[in-house]
Structure 1
């Protein structure tokens, strides 16, 4: 992402950019964002036009969604972290940014994602999520292996029958079961929810995210259907009710903990549903296909390196997949971080300036007024060539290996915070940050204990990458060949 600004100036600058004519400018920018340019080009073109990585612009969906689309965008690795500073920005009702879904989609509650850390309920809910993760930590590895070994067995069956296996569909079902069992000890498919859980969850997710999605329909249909007005919550009321019934039944221990923290069982249950279904399940819908797409595209040389590392660490652990063994897999961890850098599950971050601020980019310092909306498009920051060099937009599996590689981790922002920092009740960093990196490595472990190599066709899905296995080569040595 090029900029014409040369050299750093400490003098305060006004933020360049334009919002265009009232209403017309925002609509025109929305069309650029979704159809004429696409997300990456939309932001990169404005950086180039104004010669600055801090720039004023409209962020869709804009008009008729009841929120001002005008923002100050921070689009490099230097300026982006202002969005993590709770002394400088407020996060109240900004999880989805320039619009907010109806609270009818979350049982009438503003769930934790929409709370600012200054609100008392935020700390209570986040502590509940920390407690849940801690209480179930010993179950993650065996539950993951059980669920995803079944997925890979289905991959092999599908390949044998039809010569291909669609990973995304299998992953949707498996990830939903895994998350439910890992967090609460009960697979959703084994309850009254049955096998329809992922479909109900996906429909509910679309109702919240539709202003930021394109389904590939003609623009004349998508604009009024998805980007102009909120879809009526009534149409997913039954789906949400079925999901809520599952969580209220299986999460009894967590709900007991919630009462001890001063939360009602009802509010806690809606928060658990959101965190599990939107954050965790929604994240894995993007994470695993993204990792798989990158590793497939990298080819056999990377596969050989991962096979050697993973099987060696497991062999040293007596043939068992343990947390200690997984921690030794440095290349696998780097692959997961690199995938999260390139394709973060959540690409947008927002914050209202709590006071007059000075925001520093690589090249200048800018004045931002109290109350203005700050916005960050994460791929611009995490593909910043001033940090990641000429390969900033490429998948480099070993990017984070060694001493020099570890220095780059502070610029990996996927969790709404630096990878070198940890979530607390006082910040907005993802409470499951370490869980996500762990399961990403477990996915690679399961894959390369079982296979020496594989091939796949890579495409685009609604939320990220689409992967279709075309071949797998079963393991010929090591723990995976048993």
Structure 2
């Protein structure tokens, strides 16, 4: 591919060849590779070093967690923009029980059900659950913008007061509580804090998330502790049973209308509730915990000149809409949309994708065609694909806020893969693309809008936490001009 995303010539066709790479010595090599992945190299370098070693972006490697938790750590990794989309093609790959890859959390964490994320589209329940989610999103579409503005304007007011008192403000901590409230309000019109959950919802949700994701994370503890605690055996589900039950009770009451509709689709009420809880807490809430700090960190690093471009665009569009933030106004904000897509390209909320070959396959990279046998596990590390210099050129690893602006920029959207599909594709009951894909982009845009209606520019300290980016505001410059805006 050339930097404009058009296919170039090369050797990407012909007789399929063997996939290079090695799994090494059983158990021993998988454990060594896991240590490289978590501690010695880190994720990016782990994959980049294998690409360099074997001279190929399609390679055989071991991926975490490995023994003794994984069913089989051996995968064929697709690590460029051209080979990666095979993972989206459900005519070629099966998605059954592969949401978290080579291991699967106990169904005791989800009420005994295999929820939608672990279902292949060929399974009848998959279509029913996705229909339920599509119906919920459609029925609440008018609630998203006002709910977001209400909750996140309050968050930014707290940022202002914390900066005044302490000179810094922890966005992640505020976002964890605010996003949980926003989702309950936007999806169901019922604030979690007004239910029996009280203020405990975010902590219970985070604990439940860790129980499912611990094989793929580190806590920053010495490896002699983390390896046996997080990466070798599953944490026992009974330790989070009470937290999950409290979350379930909230959803069972708050989502009564959605559960009524689900029964009309042929789902059992409790199965629908467990699925709704998972989609809302794991996918939506877990996604916002990663997405929003990631968007802010990229925009913060872009600097004041870029901030003023965003502020000018945002304020002009909102002023044209009579001082209101509307969908029509948001659609006029081309730079704002581009900035959010660029953040999603660089920092996808979910970095790993998996699929099992349904038949013998030929997988094409930029430079060759590779033979994969039926039943082999395919794995994609998304940042390698979405930072592919053969598509995005010399700036592939950099944040370019206006990358997707204009006709030429829009052509590159087909290489933005964060939603388990191309950004130019749409989720359906027949694929595994995120049903809330458009809502995620909307929420990212709304955060940028809320920020630059309030501030001309801001600075932040950026680091990492358990799930991704950690951000602390260090200074803001309040907007000094512009029309009055309504909420």
Q: TM-score range by the shorter chain?
A: over 0.9
The residue that corresponds to 1:53 in the other structure is: 57
| Alpha-carbon distance in 2 for matches of 1:28, 1:460 | 24
| Alpha-carbon distance in 2 for matches of 1:191, 1:148 | 20
Partner of residue 250 from structure 1, selected from 251, 254, 264: 254
The residue that corresponds to 1:128 in the other structure is: 132
Counterparts of 1:22-421 in structure 2, within 5 Å, are 22-421=26-425
| Alpha-carbon distance in 1 for matches of 2:444, 2:361 | 37
Per-residue CA deviation, residues 369-418 of structure 1 (Å, 9 max, x unaligned), is: 00000000000000000000110000000000011101100000000000
SS in 1 for 2:163: helix
| Alpha-carbon distance in 2 for matches of 1:228, 1:242 | 28
Whether the 8 Å contact between 2:13 and 2:364 is mirrored in structure 1 is: no
Tell me by how many angstroms 1:7 deviates. 4.5
| Alpha-carbon distance in 1 for matches of 2:457, 2:32 | 46
Query: Are residues 381 and 337 of structure 1, via their aligned partners in 2, closer, same or farther at CA, if it must alter by over 3 Å?
Result: same
Per-residue CA deviation, residues 142-167 of structure 1 (Å, 9 max, x unaligned), is: 00000000000100111111111000
SS in 2 for 1:13: coil
Tell me by how many angstroms 1:66 deviates. 4.2
SS in 2 for 1:458: strand
SS in 1 for 2:227: helix
TM-score if structure 2 supplies the norm length? 0.97
Partner of residue 462 from structure 2, selected from 434, 450, 458: 458
| Alpha-carbon distance in 1 for matches of 2:15, 2:431 | 30
SS in 1 for 2:336: helix
| Alpha-carbon distance in 1 for matches of 2:309, 2:465 | 28
The residue that corresponds to 1:3 in the other structure is: none
Give the aligned CA root-mean-square deviation in angstroms. 1.0
Partner of residue 477 from structure 2, selected from 456, 473, 477: 473
Point out where structure 2 has 5 or more consecutive residues left out of the alignment: 1-9
SS in 2 for 1:159: helix
Tell me by how many angstroms 1:11 deviates. 2.4
Tell me by how many angstroms 1:8 deviates. 3.9
| Alpha-carbon distance in 2 for matches of 1:256, 1:183 | 15
TM-score if structure 1 supplies the norm length? 0.98
The residue that corresponds to 1:15 in the other structure is: 19
Point out where structure 1 has 5 or more consecutive residues left out of the alignment: 1-5
SS in 1 for 2:16: strand
| Alpha-carbon distance in 2 for matches of 1:224, 1:250 | 39
| Alpha-carbon distance in 2 for matches of 1:195, 1:337 | 32
Tell me by how many angstroms 1:479 deviates. 3.7
SS in 1 for 2:461: strand
Number of residues paired by the alignment?
Answer: 477
Whether the 8 Å contact between 1:449 and 1:479 is mirrored in structure 2 is: no
Whether the 8 Å contact between 1:451 and 1:480 is mirrored in structure 2 is: no
Whether the 8 Å contact between 1:450 and 1:480 is mirrored in structure 2 is: no
| Alpha-carbon distance in 2 for matches of 1:411, 1:47 | 20
Tell me by how many angstroms 1:64 deviates. 1.1
Per-residue CA deviation, residues 66-119 of structure 1 (Å, 9 max, x unaligned), is: 410000000000000000001000000000001000000001000000000000
SS in 1 for 2:418: coil
SS in 1 for 2:15: strand
Whether the 8 Å contact between 1:67 and 1:98 is mirrored in structure 2 is: yes
The residue that corresponds to 2:436 in the other structure is: 432
| Alpha-carbon distance in 2 for matches of 1:289, 1:389 | 26
